[in-house]
Amino acid sequence: MFWTIGIASVVCIALILICNAVIVNNAKGKLFSEVDSVSPVEYGLLLGTSPQTRIGRKSNQFFNYRIDAATQLYKAKKIKRILISGSDNSLDGVNEVECMRDSLVAHGVNANDIVLDGKGYRTLDAVWRAVKTYNITDFVVISQKFHNERAIYLAEHLDLGPCNVTGFNANDATNNTAILTYIREYFARVKVFIDILTGKKPSAIYDEEIKEADCANNIVRKDTMGLIALYPQFSRIDLVCGTMPQPDSDVVLVAEAAYTGKLLNEFNHSNIAGNHVANGVFYDGYPCDRNTGAFIYYNDSWKFCYQNFSKEMKEAANNGGCAFGQEMIIYNGKFVEIARKDNEEHIFRALCNHDGKLCVIESDSKIRFGDFKNKLLSYGVDDALYLDMGRGWNHAWYRDNRNKIVVLHPKAHDYCTNWITFYK
């Protein structure tokens, strides 16, 4: 009997050590302790904990150090937004995510840049929901080193699809109660492999928040690689001219399309760059040499054309569709010659074909046009047609899956003339 217990103990210890070694080795080169070493990304995923320890009700060093780490990254502009993932009703009745939000705001973080996920009950839930619920595929996990190691392994092995995850290490807790957390971590690492092998899903997978029946199927948003990619779920597309579509129930996404010529108080189709088709009607626009490509839509099908597209525009008109010309950036997976200079720096936007899906992609901040092109190609875009931007021209909006209107850049003037519009 003693031999049996001895052998079982050795096997358990070996299993713990192996699981620990695999998770540690997997995280090598992906963890950072210095702010300057972190590459800028859109989101930081701050893993939740309570402000007080459960034993003794003392100030929780894990909490304080994570807040410090998240604040450092935010103020250094390494992250623009913080997704706090934890329990909104933990074992001791504390709302972890609200406590963390309040502490971050007190440290100077803008409350508008904080997103709360109160369903991140476990680390598995936190990383799964960051990718699947919030469509964030490029982020830095913020917690203690041991926690980041486990989170990164889960993110890479839960069959979540392509994602780029690194970790920023908060200082380790050194008080007496922290030892219990460190001991527990060894068993949590064994549980990681059990969860992966059994296909464990988040505790909140059936919550009403993420039930498809409770959500509209309007759009999929992905924030990755410094890009905001919007995939509208549409039944038809049109080029609306003259007046920007209002947020009625049928519209999913609206963005400025072709260039506008003069700043006129009255609308005229001849003030739109290049010939175009709106609601099945062909219109003459002003000649524009920069229009090397076009977007064509009719009979529920869409395509991008490069250089010779006049015939396709007439087909769109004959079949009740829409079409407009613009600067082609990428065609059939390759860069094409474009007049826009690579060193121009703005927020850029493009209408794209990504893996056979039509989407609108823009940079999440000012960027060199050459870098924007490279990001589009690295993301896997097959075709990209420039969309008019600049102050006021960048005004756009979309309807999220809660049917709330999300505005992309404020309205600055009334000179815009045409918009690609996606309808449910």
Comparing 25-29, 148-152, 215-219, the range with the smallest average pLDDT is 215-219
User: Are the C-beta atoms of residues 392 and 203 closer than 8 Å to each other?
Assistant: no
- pTM of the entire structure? 0.55
pLDDT tier at 260, thresholds 50, 70, 90: very high
Instruction: Flag whether pLDDT at 283 surpasses 60.
Output: yes
How many angstroms separate the CA atoms of 271 and 228, rounded?
Answer: 30
pLDDT tier at 367, thresholds 50, 70, 90: confident
Instruction: Flag whether pLDDT at 155 surpasses 50.
Output: yes
| Residue 295 β-bridge partners | 304, 324
Name the nearest CA neighbour of 134 among 42, 251, 197, 203: 42
Answer with the residue of higher pLDDT: 360 or 51: 360
- For 196-245, the pLDDT digits (tens) are 888 887 876 544 444 444 446 788 888 777 788 899 999 999 999 999 98
Q: What is the pLDDT of residue 2?
A: 60
Instruction: Flag whether pLDDT at 190 surpasses 80.
Output: yes
Q: What are the distances in angstroms from CA 366 to CA 245, 302, 337, 411?
A: 27, 30, 22, 18
How many angstroms separate the CA atoms of 144 and 245, rounded?
Answer: 48
pLDDT tier at 388, thresholds 50, 70, 90: confident
Q: What is the pLDDT of residue 393?
A: 81
pLDDT tier at 145, thresholds 50, 70, 90: very high
Instruction: Flag whether pLDDT at 276 surpasses 60.
Output: yes
Q: What is the pLDDT of residue 204?
A: 60
Answer with the residue of higher pLDDT: 267 or 53: 267
Q: What is the pLDDT of residue 213?
A: 41
- For 96-144, the pLDDT digits (tens) are 898 899 999 999 999 888 988 888 999 999 999 999 888 899 999 999 9
Q: What is the pLDDT of residue 90?
A: 63
Comparing 10-14, 75-79, 160-164, 359-363, the range with the smallest average pLDDT is 10-14
Tell me the mean pLDDT in the region 171-191: 90
- For 394-420, the pLDDT digits (tens) are 889 998 877 888 888 888 888 999 999
Helix (H) or strand (E) holding 23: helix 2-26
Instruction: Flag whether pLDDT at 288 surpasses 60.
Output: yes
User: Are the C-beta atoms of residues 271 and 284 closer than 8 Å to each other?
Assistant: no
Three-class SS of residue 15?
helix
Which domains are present in the chain? 12-209 (3.40.50.620), 215-423 (no CATH)
- Chain centroid to CA 275: 34
Name the nearest CA neighbour of 84 among 39, 47, 38, 34: 47
Mean pLDDT of the chain: 89
How many angstroms separate the CA atoms of 195 and 125, rounded?
Answer: 11
User: Are the C-beta atoms of residues 301 and 275 closer than 8 Å to each other?
Assistant: no
Instruction: Flag whether pLDDT at 48 surpasses 90.
Output: yes
Instruction: Flag whether pLDDT at 93 surpasses 60.
Output: no
Q: What is the pLDDT of residue 211?
A: 44
Tell me the mean pLDDT in the region 381-399: 89
* b/e per residue 33-65 (b: at least 16 CB within 10 A): eeeeebeebbbbbbbbbbbebeeeeeebbbbbb
Name the nearest CA neighbour of 296 among 264, 252, 330, 326: 326
